[in-house]
Amino acid sequence: MSEAGTGGESLLFLTDEQLRKGIEAMFFAYRGFTADPDRILAELGYGRAHHRAVHFINRRPGLTVNALLSVLGVTKQSLNRVLRTLIVDGLVESRVGTQDRRERHLHLTERGAELERRLSEAQRARMRAAYRAAGPQAVAGFRHVLEAMMDEEIRAQYLALRDAQT
């Protein structure tokens, strides 16, 4: 987008106020992005940690508990609470590894896959509408900004996951 298309604001020399506006927009956008899934999760007595676990287990069926710990960046105790609930409620299966019996591989059950679909459909609808409104250049720029905000190690995890799914 040209400088004229940004309201005359040079993207190389942003003021603190312009940055604050971006930060606030991110906070409010995140609220909108999580609002629909939060309502679905609340009906079931779950929270965002459950959503993140279900999302990444769906993206990588057979993901080990240790790999999920690494992706989520949470403590083992915190993840164990979430997984225990999802397993007891019949949304996630924990299978013993075939090569290393100490490993636990995580898979969504049919009910877990259905919950994941409901949650992701709500978010995809919101993202689709925003992307359509913004246009392809803005979408590419937005993704670039998000990737640039990631710490190097997290970006490497993100890129590995993204590239494994394409």
Instruction: Give me the domains of the chain, ranges plus CATH numbers.
Output: 15-134 (1.10.10.10)
Digit-coded pLDDT (tens) for 131-159: 999 999 999 999 999 999 999 999 998 88
Q: Tell the burial category of 126 from Cβ atoms under 10 Å away from its Cβ (0-12, 13-18, 19+).
A: middle
Residue length, the chain?
166
Digit-coded pLDDT (tens) for 1-32: 444 445 545 566 789 999 999 999 999 999 99
Kindly report the pTM of this predicted structure.
0.83
Cα-trace Rg, the chain: 19
Q: Is the pLDDT of residue 94 over 50?
A: yes
User: What phi-psi label fits residue 90: left (phi over 0), alpha (psi between -120 and 50 degrees) or beta?
Assistant: left
Digit-coded pLDDT (tens) for 52-66: 999 999 999 999 999
Contact present, 36 and 123 (Cβ < 8 Å): yes
pLDDT of residue 1: 41
In order of 110, 114, 159, the CA distances from 71 in angstroms are: 23, 22, 12
Mean pLDDT value of segment 121-136: 96
- CA–CA gap between residue 56 and residue 20 (Å, rounded): 31
- CA–CA gap between residue 67 and residue 48 (Å, rounded): 19
- CA–CA gap between residue 15 and residue 110 (Å, rounded): 50
**What is the average pLDDT score of the chain?**
90
H helix count then E strand count, the chain? 7, 3
